[in-house]
Amino acid sequence: MRTKILVFFCIILRVYSQTMNDSTKLIMDLLNGYDRLVRPVIDQSKPVSLNISMDLVAIQEFDEVLDKFSVVAIVYITWMDPRMMWNPLNYNGLYTTTIPVSDLWTPNLIVGNSFDKIEPIGADWMRVRYYANGFSLYSPGDVFKTTCSVDVTFYPFDTQSCKIMLIPWGSLPNEITIIASSDVVFQTFFSENGEWEVLSTSVVTDETVIFPFIQFNIKMKRRPTFFLVNVILPIIFLGLLNILVFLLPAESGERISFAITVLLSIAVFLTLVGDNLPKTSKPMSMICYFLLVNLSLSTIICITTILNLRFYHKPEWKPVPRLLVAITRKLNCMSTPARDAVQPFNPATINEISGIEKAKISNQTSNKELVPAVTWKDISRMVDKVTCTLSFLWLFVSSTTFIVMISNNQEIT
């Protein structure tokens, strides 16, 4: 019984094995009389339908200064070619084959928003895969360098949207139609980028213009950790360090050099940030304004330090203005010496002053003498206290405002 079943299946089932001769014969038959200059459609009045999709492999470069966006990607292009149809039974079951691009018709696709030069995608060494029903698959991979409008308003917490536009150069809408195979860009072989995170992708086609095109949109967000650690936090720390200049003793002689050193450090950070941003005024990065505010604060601290040292080293014999004395006493909670009331002199009443009243007058005179006088050094210390408080409030408000505005942008994104 088993032998009969085995013989039955051997008769019914066919096993195909393709040889080199089968592949050679198939390719020769397909290319016999093939003209690569003619579009693959029987009725030349009808367009060739191209189904196109993209597979993002890696984000190679994003240059904010040059508005340059570079990615490594694979483009999948499919169409039907009636000249490339055959019966697999005539070739021992061979149902698919590949042929070099140089011998075939392929769509002449270019990058419409190329950064440096216009040239077709793909290369002659690449191959097109054909199936027995005429289905054609061409999947060129390349580095696509495109222009991208950069918005650095919230740098380095920014979100950028870039596009790759493919155009069948020289073909009109009645010759080639483009259909998006997918609504998104595939990420089958995608390698994560250390600086950018892909948020979303989309695909758009348009055949209402002279040349139909397909556009792949990529929205990505910068990973801000590197810039946060190496730029923003050091700027805030420098601002705090700058305020500490008012805690240095005036006798040390290091106040001015300390303040100028911090001022130059902030100026260096401003230069570093400027080198990484486009040389445009619209839009302007918020971090530039933040650095400018800190630079202004540092400049004011330097000026205040210089003027305050002049107060500290003024001669003691020079009188202190009454306004400064009043402000200093108010801020330092110092008592104000009582003014002697002017009474009319009456010799008759001198003998009537009792011993208790004499003691009271003597006590008031002693208290008046104990009230400390306000010196120029007191004025200097008062200026230190006021300027330190105002500088800290300035730094706190500016830093908080910057962080809040950046956070709002992150929530919107």
Query: DSSP per residue over 33-94, as a string?
Result: T--TTS-S-SSTTSPEEEEEEEEEEEEEEEETTTTEEEEEEEEEEEEEEEEEE--GGGGTT-
pLDDT of 13: 47
Q: How far apart are CA 375 and CA 378, in angstroms?
A: 5
CATH 1.20.58.390 placement within the chain: 226-329+376-412
Which two structure tokens, joined as six digits, stand for 156? 């380095």
Q: Specify the CATH number of the domain 226-329+376-412.
A: 1.20.58.390
Beta-carbon count within 10 A of 71 CB = 24
Q: Which of 135-139, 343-347, 351-355, 407-411 has the lowest mean pLDDT?
A: 343-347
Q: In this structure, is the dihedral angle defined by the CA atoms of residues 225, 229, 232 and 233, taken in order, positive or negative?
A: positive
What average pLDDT score do residues 6-30 get?
Answer: 69
Residue type, 362: S
DSSP state of 102: G
Q: How confident is the model at residue 333 (pLDDT cuts 50, 70, 90)?
A: low
CATH 2.70.170.10 placement within the chain: 16-223
Asked if residue 270 has pLDDT above 60, the reply is: yes
Asked if residue 177 has pLDDT above 80, the reply is: yes
Q: How confident is the model at residue 2 (pLDDT cuts 50, 70, 90)?
A: low
Strand-pairing partners, residue 135, are 80
Between the ranges 77-81, 151-155, 255-259, where is the mean pLDDT highest?
A: 77-81
DSSP state of 120: B
Q: How far apart are CA 120 and CA 101, in angstroms?
A: 13
Q: How confident is the model at residue 338 (pLDDT cuts 50, 70, 90)?
A: very low
| pLDDT tens column, 368-394 | 444 567 777 777 788 888 888 898 999
Cβ atoms of 29 and 130 closer than 8 Å: no
- Work out the angle between the directed axes of helices 233-243 and 376-412 (0-180°, nearest 10): 160
Residue 43's Cβ-side half-sphere holds a number of Cα atoms within 13 Å equal to 5
Cβ atoms of 57 and 139 closer than 8 Å: no
Pairing state of beta strands 127-131 and 176-180? Answer: unpaired
Q: How far apart are CA 235 and CA 271, in angstroms?
A: 13
Percent of the residues in the chain that have a pLDDT greater than 70, as a whole number: 83
Asked if residue 184 has pLDDT above 80, the reply is: yes
pLDDT of 363: 52
Cis peptide before 156, with omega less than 30 degrees from 0? yes
Strand-pairing partners, residue 80, are 135
pLDDT of 294: 87
Which CATH architecture fits 16-223?
Distorted Sandwich (2.70)
Q: Which of 253-262, 318-327, 390-399 has the lowest mean pLDDT?
A: 318-327
**Nearest one of 115, 111, 138, 131 to 36, comparing CA atoms:** 138
pLDDT of 341: 38
Q: Is 67 left (phi over 0), alpha (psi -120 to 50) or beta?
A: left
Q: How confident is the model at residue 367 (pLDDT cuts 50, 70, 90)?
A: very low
Cis peptide before 47, with omega less than 30 degrees from 0? no
Q: How far apart are CA 287 and CA 136, in angstroms?
A: 51
- Enter the pTM of the model: 0.75
Beta-strand ranges (E) seen in 150-284 are 159-168, 176-180, 196-206, 213-222
Asked if residue 102 has pLDDT above 70, the reply is: yes
What average pLDDT score do residues 57-69 get?
Answer: 91
What average pLDDT score do residues 341-368 get?
Answer: 47
